[in-house]
């Protein structure tokens, strides 16, 4: 998609020579009157007129068509507000570099406000994709060709099939070749020759394509009068066998997918719980404001994006340390200002931190407004990793999973290998003894709470990529966080990790059968029963510390 | 427990300054020469996101009416209270407005549960409530005027559009788990079945409030929609859960061209707070879009921007509902010559007031109004492009004709029926149950 304009222009010419060599009379340089008319109604017409104009443009076959239609599809075709000229814009972060759609002449850079976009409806987008698909079948980029083949396969008529057949021999890229082959094989299933049909089914059996499944399903179904849609029994049995074959694979992929969904839900749970595992698990402080510390992290991401609107990806990465620092500082302030006076009084701590959470929420409401803030997702985090037609993993979840594991390992290392970690463990095990050994317990408390809060902030950055950034963000996660920590075993980081992932996976395996609401209830019921049986969670703390 | 604590905080922290502001706003007002109008919208808590705008809209409308010389020679005075997104507090505040402040009418509520909570109070004290939000129907109270859409003014036309114009054959009804989606989906399911849609072609899914992990549901929808038949999602997903839902759709490669989503709770205001990229091309059904090009609408937008002093703020459907409701109330009071609830309730039936999108809205005997229905596609600037609209106004139907239990029931608050749930078969008014 990101072909520079000049190359695109050249390949437009090349495409036109190739695909529309029949239209020998069309002169690519001088614009014809109907073409200009079509452009005009594209520019000024109502939605139905615009639809007509697109069809007309496709018929007239002018050299600029591909560039114009592609720009239209991408939302880069504008009219200038001053002289209502039709222009193609290329985003340069501050505004648009525009060029005249008719002549192709560059017109320099303009502001966003100087242009008004030509809007589309879904129907028009579909038409556009098909037209562009035909034009782009011989594009240089294999990804573009693959998209073109897929777009064309949806409405394959004889003309399209001829184009595809012609392309199949020349095609070098395996993925594109495969897509063409499947389309043609699907076509062969309609062949009058039985042998061809059998061959097609045999060949399609090994393909992971939804189209194939639908087609085979249709063949074994009965129609309204109770007759089989497919009259030939041999073919029907063959289709049935092929379906079983494909469905087995489908089932495998769908369990892989469910495990991935579970892991990624688990990763979110672990991320939001891990900070709590430190403040609640290690220090024994019930911090109801934990969710709000995550919210602060999410808002930090928003602010970072506002500060550097042109570098989305970097701003998200930079938000990670920034969110850590901000949430840690707020956490330390809460600890020094309130919690340290309440050690050993869990009920008071709970109420006081709940108050803090309300104060934090309302301050965010006053500063940023009660409306949710829009945090954009960087390009590399959107979309999915398409392994085949049946299995695709979304990038944002994938990165969050990796990120969660990184944070976990880092935290474990801090606790195991640094001086702070040693002191934290010492204070957690026996406060008085640690104090007697000269450890400044008050300072360690503040640092530990800061560490836990900072990690909550980091979790907030991850959450900003998958959910709303608003004042209520924290509330949605606080109960889940406590659940994970208690289930995993208070004071045990590894327990939190295992608990988070197993709850995530359990939830996702239940969801298809029970529905989202009931799945959540079932998981909660399970935890209640589990805690009855094992009050100290999955991995109870051993030794003397556990008794105190 | 948390709710109660939250309330105590909310009350102390929030109401004092608001009350002070309200008093400070009308320093010269005396109780005798003003007509009080209650504004019952949450200014804190989860619903503040939607309801704060409606409070501002009401203040603007009242302000403008005062500039025109007030009503019946008196100035209007807004009494703003904050029910803090807490349903029982809605009832408490409504009682306060009616007994302590003695307001002539209340404009307020957003969620159905808040309306249900106010209902007994407003009926007991014979007040007037204007409710501006699209809702599930199956209700008509003597004391409530429903200026938002009933299901036949939003959900049913949207399904008709998908079925007839886009050729949709398989349906996913996805909603948040509470009364509005459950009732709407029940009506839609009955409607689809009446249109010969097979049970296996309907998938119904409910999720908790604020659901954020949509992975498996979107994967299910994708599978459901991959059978080759055109599939659409009818979404009654509420509030915050929408953003992660559309994000997941985008990430899993479900585009509006393959499986369009038509939403009943996503408007301009909600779109202004989110990254619209994954939503482009998806649909919404409303009775008003900010993008509709009429002089009335342009005037309203201009007035709003001047009042709120921010040219970037958007207008939305419930704001128009308040605009219509307020102007109908003003006309009814003028017609009756008094703000007495009984007189106004009688006078308002049949009153007409212009829609911002063209045509005249009329208050019907069932306390609903007539509205045009628009379907729009979401654009990346957070606005809608109208792709379809009804060619005439649709009358709001309180009791759905597609549910067997409410089919024979009608609401008519004019004599001789004078009843909110009159059974046309048994010829009986089953009293005030909703």
B250 contacts in chain A (CB < 8 Å): 382-383
Q: What is the pLDDT of residues A478-523, one digit of tens each?
A: 888 998 998 988 778 899 999 999 999 999 999 888 888 888 899 9
- Are A108 and A151 found together in one domain? no
Helix (H, G, I), strand (E, B) or coil at A59: helix
| Residue of B20 and B171 predicted with greater confidence | B171
Please name the member of B44, B205, B215 whose beta carbon is closest to the beta carbon of A515: B205
Question: How many CB atoms are closer than 10 A to CB B264?
Answer: 23
**What's the average model confidence in pLDDT over A89-99?**
78
Query: For A359-363, A454-458, A463-467, B14-18, which range has the lowest pLDDT when averaged over its residues?
Result: B14-18
Q: Is residue A547 part of a domain?
A: no
Nearest to B348 by CA among B150, B120, B145: B145
- Are A125 and A193 found together in one domain? no
**What's the average model confidence in pLDDT over B89-111?**
95
How close is the nearest chain B Cα to the Cα of A466, in Å? 6
Rounded Cα–Cα distance for residues B283 and A406 (Å): 39
Q: Do residue B275 and residue A374 have CB atoms under 8 angstroms apart?
A: yes
Q: Do residue B256 and residue A377 have CB atoms under 8 angstroms apart?
A: no
Q: Is residue A99 part of a domain?
A: yes
Q: Show the DSSP H helices in A369-438 as ranges.
A: 395-417, 419-429, 431-436
How high is the mean pLDDT of chain A?
A: 81
Partner A contacted by B18 (CB < 8 A):
no
CA atoms within 13 Å, Cβ hemisphere of B70: 13
- For residue B7, pLDDT over 60 is answered with no
- Are A341 and A462 found together in one domain? yes
Helix (H, G, I), strand (E, B) or coil at B38: strand
How close is the nearest chain A Cα to the Cα of B208, in Å? 6
CB under 8 Å to B287, separation ≥6 — which residues?
B134, B149, B153, B154, B317, B320, B321, B355, B357, B371, B372, B373, B374
Q: Do residue B256 and residue A218 have CB atoms under 8 angstroms apart?
A: no
- Are A118 and A186 found together in one domain? no
| Residue of A23 and A316 predicted with greater confidence | A316
B228 contacts in chain A (CB < 8 Å): 211, 214-215, 218
| Residue of B341 and A392 predicted with greater confidence | B341
How close is the nearest chain B Cα to the Cα of A258, in Å? 7
- Are A299 and A417 found together in one domain? yes
- For residue B225, pLDDT over 50 is answered with yes
| Tokens 């060599």 sit on residue | A21
Query: For A175-184, A516-525, B383-392, which range has the lowest pLDDT when averaged over its residues?
Result: A175-184
Q: What is the pLDDT of residues B244-286, one digit of tens each?
A: 898 888 888 888 888 999 999 888 988 876 778 878 889 999 9
Q: So what's the ipTM on this one?
A: 0.72
**What's the average model confidence in pLDDT over B293-321?**
93
**Which range, B9-13, B383-387, B416-420, has the best average confidence (pLDDT)?**
B383-387
Pull the structure tokens for residue A292. 């709000």
Give helix A194-204 / helix A233-276 axis angle, nearest 10°: 20
Question: How many CB atoms are closer than 10 A to CB B418?
Answer: 12
Rounded Cα–Cα distance for residues B108 and B264 (Å): 19
Rounded Cα–Cα distance for residues A492 and A425 (Å): 11
- For residue B160, pLDDT over 80 is answered with yes
CB under 8 Å to A346, separation ≥6 — which residues?
A284, A286
B260 contacts in chain A (CB < 8 Å): 122
The pLDDT of residue B18 is 47
- For residue A418, pLDDT over 70 is answered with yes
Rounded Cα–Cα distance for residues B324 and B336 (Å): 18
pTM of the model: 0.77
Q: What is the pLDDT of residues B357-383, one digit of tens each?
A: 988 999 999 999 999 999 999 988 889
Rounded Cα–Cα distance for residues B378 and B276 (Å): 8
Q: Is residue A46 part of a domain?
A: yes
Task: Give, for A86, the enclosing helix (H) or strand (E).
Answer: strand A86-91
- For residue A164, pLDDT over 80 is answered with no
Q: In this structure, are residues A39 and A86 in contact, taking their beta carbons and an 8 Å threshold?
A: yes
Rounded Cα–Cα distance for residues A50 and A58 (Å): 13
Q: What is the pLDDT of residues B42-65, one digit of tens each?
A: 987 777 778 889 999 999 999 999
Q: Do residue A214 and residue B275 have CB atoms under 8 angstroms apart?
A: no
Nearest to B127 by CA among B105, B97, B110, B96: B105
The pLDDT of residue A351 is 93
- For residue A120, pLDDT over 90 is answered with no
Rounded Cα–Cα distance for residues A16 and A138 (Å): 10
- Are A503 and A478 found together in one domain? yes
* A156: confidence class by pLDDT, cuts 50, 70, 90: low
Domains of chain B listed by start with CATH number: 2-150+313-371 (3.40.50.2300), 152-291+373-395 (3.40.50.2300)
Q: What is the pLDDT of residues A332-347, one digit of tens each?
A: 999 999 998 988 888 8
- For residue B16, pLDDT over 80 is answered with no
pLDDT cut 90: percent of chain A above it: 25
* A543: confidence class by pLDDT, cuts 50, 70, 90: low
Q: Do residue B385 and residue A468 have CB atoms under 8 angstroms apart?
A: no
**Which range, A119-123, B109-113, B142-146, has the best average confidence (pLDDT)?**
B142-146
Task: Give, for B299, the enclosing helix (H) or strand (E).
Answer: helix B295-308
With CA atoms as reference, the chain B residue closest to A466 would be B244
Partner A contacted by B277 (CB < 8 A):
yes
Q: Do residue A466 and residue B212 have CB atoms under 8 angstroms apart?
A: yes
Rounded Cα–Cα distance for residues A278 and A272 (Å): 11
Please name the member of A120, A265, A358 whose beta carbon is closest to the beta carbon of B6: A358
- Are A290 and A424 found together in one domain? yes
Pull the structure tokens for residue B174. 């996805």
CATH of the domain at A484: 1.10.3470
CB under 8 Å to B226, separation ≥6 — which residues?
A210, A213, A214
Q: Do residue A382 and residue B250 have CB atoms under 8 angstroms apart?
A: yes
Pull the structure tokens for residue A272. 């939001």
Cβ-in-10-Å burial (0-12, 13-18, 19+) of A443 comes to exposed
- Are A66 and A151 found together in one domain? no
- Are A104 and A147 found together in one domain? no
Q: In this structure, are residues B153 and B371 in contact, taking their beta carbons and an 8 Å threshold?
A: yes
Q: Is residue A208 part of a domain?
A: yes
> Phi, psi at residue A285, to the nearest 5°?
-95, 125
Long-range contacts of A205-208 (CB under 8 A, 24+ apart): A205/A241, A205/A242, A205/A245, A205/A246, A207/A178, A207/A182, A207/A246, A208/A246, A208/A249, A208/A253, A208/A388, A208/A389, A208/A390
Q: Is residue A536 part of a domain?
A: no
- For residue A92, pLDDT over 60 is answered with yes
The pLDDT of residue A235 is 79
* A290: confidence class by pLDDT, cuts 50, 70, 90: very high
**Domain end: A193, A209, A231, which one?**
A231
* A410: confidence class by pLDDT, cuts 50, 70, 90: very high
The pLDDT of residue A542 is 65
Q: How, if at all, do strands B34-40 and B105-108 pair?
A: parallel
* A18: confidence class by pLDDT, cuts 50, 70, 90: very low
> Which residue of A466, A503, A509, A524 to mutate against B (max B Cβ within 10 Å)?
A466
How far from A134 is each of A15, A127, B10, B286, B295, CA to CA, in Å? Answer: 9, 11, 61, 37, 43
The pLDDT of residue A97 is 82
Please name the member of B48, B251, B377 whose beta carbon is closest to the beta carbon of A383: B251
The pLDDT of residue B4 is 41
Q: What is the pLDDT of residues B170-209, one digit of tens each?
A: 999 999 888 889 999 999 999 999 999 999 999 999 998 8
- For residue B125, pLDDT over 90 is answered with yes
Query: For A264-268, A332-336, A543-547, B412-416, which range has the lowest pLDDT when averaged over its residues?
Result: A543-547
Q: Show the DSSP H helices in B68-214 as ranges.
A: 87-99, 112-124, 155-165, 179-194
Q: In this structure, are residues B254 and B225 in contact, taking their beta carbons and an 8 Å threshold?
A: yes
- Are A457 and A335 found together in one domain? yes
Q: What is the pLDDT of residues A213-251, one digit of tens each?
A: 877 777 777 776 777 777 777 777 888 888 888 888 888
CA A174 to chain centroid, in Å, comes to 27
* A192: confidence class by pLDDT, cuts 50, 70, 90: confident
- For residue A25, pLDDT over 70 is answered with no
Q: Is residue A539 part of a domain?
A: no
- Are A35 and A184 found together in one domain? no
Query: Could you tell me where the beta strands, DSSP code E, fall in B179-296?
Result: 202-207, 231-236, 261-263, 283-286
The pLDDT of residue A3 is 44
* B326: confidence class by pLDDT, cuts 50, 70, 90: very high
**What's the average model confidence in pLDDT over A2-12?**
48
* A17: confidence class by pLDDT, cuts 50, 70, 90: very low
Q: Is residue A239 part of a domain?
A: no
Pull the structure tokens for residue A412. 């474990």
B46 contacts in chain A (CB < 8 Å): 472
Rounded Cα–Cα distance for residues B190 and B119 (Å): 28
Query: For A469-473, B304-308, B368-372, which range has the lowest pLDDT when averaged over its residues?
Result: A469-473
Interface of B with A in 286-345 (CB under 8 A): none
Q: Do residue A394 and residue B212 have CB atoms under 8 angstroms apart?
A: no
The pLDDT of residue B1 is 40
**Domain end: A231, A250, A281, which one?**
A231
How close is the nearest chain A Cα to the Cα of B121, in Å? 29
- Whether omega for the bond prior to residue A455 falls within 30 degrees of 0, making it cis, is no
Helix (H, G, I), strand (E, B) or coil at A63: coil
The pLDDT of residue B17 is 47
The pLDDT of residue A401 is 94
**Domain end: A81, A116, A131, which one?**
A131
- For residue A23, pLDDT over 60 is answered with no
Q: Do residue A374 and residue B9 have CB atoms under 8 angstroms apart?
A: no
Q: Report angle CA A176, A181, A185 to the nearest 5 degrees.
A: 155
B170 contacts in chain A (CB < 8 Å): none
> Phi, psi at residue B58, to the nearest 5°?
-65, -45
- Are A160 and A279 found together in one domain? no
Q: Is residue A546 part of a domain?
A: no
With CA atoms as reference, the chain A residue closest to B215 would be A261
Q: Report angle CA B316, B354, B155 to the nearest 5 degrees.
A: 50
Provide the domain count of chain A.
3
Please name the member of B252, B274, B381 whose beta carbon is closest to the beta carbon of A394: B252
What sign does the dihedral A181-A184-A189-A195 (CA atoms) show? Answer: negative
Q: Give the domain range for residue A320.
A: 261-382+393-515
Q: In this structure, are residues A287 and A269 in contact, taking their beta carbons and an 8 Å threshold?
A: no
**What's the average model confidence in pLDDT over A404-425?**
92
- For residue B20, pLDDT over 70 is answered with no
Q: Do residue A470 and residue B49 have CB atoms under 8 angstroms apart?
A: yes
Q: Do residue A371 and residue B272 have CB atoms under 8 angstroms apart?
A: yes
With CA atoms as reference, the chain B residue closest to A472 would be B46
> Which residue of B18, B42, B49 to mutate against A (max A Cβ within 10 Å)?
B49
Cβ-in-10-Å burial (0-12, 13-18, 19+) of B404 comes to exposed
Query: For A133-147, A420-434, B418-432, which range has the lowest pLDDT when averaged over its residues?
Result: A133-147
Q: Do residue A516 and residue B257 have CB atoms under 8 angstroms apart?
A: no
């Amino acid at each position: 998609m990101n072909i520079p304009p000049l190359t695109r222009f050249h390949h437009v010419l090349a495409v036109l020579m190739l695909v529309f060599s029949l239209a020998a009379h069309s002169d690519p340089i001088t614009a014809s009157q109907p073409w200009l008319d079509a452009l005009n109604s594209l520019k000024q017409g109502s939605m139905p007129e615009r639809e007509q104009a697109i069809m007309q443009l496709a018929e007239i076959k002018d050299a600029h068509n591909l560039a114009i239609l592609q720009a239209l599809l991408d939302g880069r075709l504008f009219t200038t507000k001053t002289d209502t000229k039709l222009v193609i814009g290329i985003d340069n972060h501050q505004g648009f570099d525009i060029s005249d759609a008719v002549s192709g002449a560059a017109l320099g850079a303009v502001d966003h406000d100087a242009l008004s976009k030509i809007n589309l409806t879904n129907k028009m987008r579909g038409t556009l994709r098909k037209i562009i698909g035909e034009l782009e079948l011989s594009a240089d980029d294999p990804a573009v060709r693959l998209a073109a083949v897929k777009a064309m396969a949806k409405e394959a008529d004889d003309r399209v099939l001829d184009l595809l057949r012609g392309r199949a021999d020349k095609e070098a890229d395996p993925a594109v070749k495969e897509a063409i082959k499947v389309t043609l094989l699907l076509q062969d299933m309609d062949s009058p020759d039985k042998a061809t049909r059998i061959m097609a089914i045999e060949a399609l059996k090994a393909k992971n394509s939804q189209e194939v499944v639908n087609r085979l399903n249709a063949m074994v179904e009965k129609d309204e009068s109770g007759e089989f849609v497919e009259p030939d029994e041999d073919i029907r049995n063959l289709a049935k066998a092929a379906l079983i074959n494909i469905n087995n694979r489908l089932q495998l992929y769908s369990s892989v997918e469910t495990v991935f969904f579970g892991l990624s839900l688990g990763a979110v749970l672990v991320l939001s719980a891990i900070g709590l595992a430190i403040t609640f698990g290690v220090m024994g402080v019930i911090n109801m404001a934990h969710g709000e510390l995550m919210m602060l992290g999410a808002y930090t991401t928003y602010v970072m994006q506002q500060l550097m609107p042109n570098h989305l990806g970097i701003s998200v990465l930079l938000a990670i340390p920034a969110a850590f620092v901000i949430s840690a500082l707020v956490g330390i302030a809460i600890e020094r200002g309130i919690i340290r006076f309440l050690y050993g009084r869990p009920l008071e701590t709970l109420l006081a931190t709940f108050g803090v959470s309300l104060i934090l929420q309302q301050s965010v409401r006053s500063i940023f407004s009660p409306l949710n803030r829009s945090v954009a997702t960087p390009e590399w985090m959107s979309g999915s990793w398409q392994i085949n037609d049946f299995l695709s993993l979304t990038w944002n979840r994938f990165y969050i999973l990796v990120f969660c594991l990184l944070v976990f390992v880092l935290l474990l290392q801090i606790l195991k290998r640094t001086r702070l970690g040693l002191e934290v463990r010492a204070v957690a095990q026996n406060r008085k003894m640690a104090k007697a050994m000269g450890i400044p317990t008050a300072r360690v408390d503040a640092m530990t709470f800061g560490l836990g809060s900072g990690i909550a902030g980091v979790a907030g950055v991850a959450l900003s990529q998958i959910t709303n950034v608003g004042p209520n963000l924290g509330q949605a996660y606080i109960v889940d966080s406590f659940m994970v920590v208690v289930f995993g075993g208070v004071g045990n980081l590894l327990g939190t990790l295992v608990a988070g992932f197993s709850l995530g996976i359990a939830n996702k395996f239940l969801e298809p059968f029970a529905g989202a609401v009931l799945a959540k209830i079932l998981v909660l019921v399970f935890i209640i029963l589990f805690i009855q049986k094992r009050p100290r969670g999955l991995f109870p703390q051993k030794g003397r510390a556990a008794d105190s | 427990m948390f709710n109660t604590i939250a309330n105590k905080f909310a009350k102390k922290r929030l109401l004092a300054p608001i009350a002070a502001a309200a008093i400070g706003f009308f320093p010269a007002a005396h109780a005798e020469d003003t007509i009080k109008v209650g504004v019952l919208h949450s200014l804190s808590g989860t619903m503040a996101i939607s309801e704060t705008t409606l409070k501002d809209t009401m203040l603007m409308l009242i302000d403008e009416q005062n500039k025109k010389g007030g009503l019946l020679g008196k100035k209007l005075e807004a009494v703003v209270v904050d029910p803090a997104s807490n349903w029982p507090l809605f009832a408490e505040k409504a009682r306060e407005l009616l007994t302590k402040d003695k307001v002539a009418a209340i404009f307020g509520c957003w969620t159905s549960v808040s309306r249900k909570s106010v209902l007994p109070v407003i009926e007991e004290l014979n007040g007037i409530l204007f409710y501006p939000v699209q809702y599930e129907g199956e209700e008509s109270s003597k004391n409530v005027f429903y200026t938002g859409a009933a299901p036949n003014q939003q959900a049913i036309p949207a399904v008709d559009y998908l079925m007839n114009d886009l050729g949709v054959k398989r349906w996913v009804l996805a909603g948040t788990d509470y009364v509005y989606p459950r009732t709407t989906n029940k009506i839609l399911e009955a409607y689809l079945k009446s249109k010969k849609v097979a049970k296996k072609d309907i998938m119904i899914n409910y999720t908790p409030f604020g659901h954020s992990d949509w992975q498996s549901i979107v994967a299910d929808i994708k599978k459901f929609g991959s059978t080759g038949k055109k599939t659409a999602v009818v979404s009654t997903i509420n509030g915050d859960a929408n953003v992660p839902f559309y994000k997941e759709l985008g990430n899993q490669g479900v585009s509006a061209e393959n499986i369009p989503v038509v939403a009943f709770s996503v408007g301009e205001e909600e779109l202004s707070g989110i990254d619209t990229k994954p939503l482009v091309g998806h649909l919404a059904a409303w009775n008003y879009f900010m993008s509709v090009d009429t002089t009335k609408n342009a005037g309203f937008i201009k007035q709003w921007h001047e009042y709120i002093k921010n040219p970037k703020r958007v207008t939305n459907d419930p704001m128009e509902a308040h605009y219509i409701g307020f102007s109908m109330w003003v006309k009814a009071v003028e017609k009756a010559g008094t703000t007495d609830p009984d007189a106004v309730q009688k006078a308002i039936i049949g009153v007409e007031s212009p829609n911002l999108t063209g045509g005249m809205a009329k208050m019907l005997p069932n306390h609903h109004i007539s509205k045009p229905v628009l379907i729009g596609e979401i654009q990346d600037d957070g606005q809608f492009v109208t792709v379809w609209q009804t060619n005439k106004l649709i009358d709001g139907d309180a009791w759905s004709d597609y549910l067997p239990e409410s089919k024979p029931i009608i609401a008519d608050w004019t004599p001789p029926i004078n009843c909110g749930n009159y059974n046309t078969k048994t010829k009986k008014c089953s009293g005030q149950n909703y």
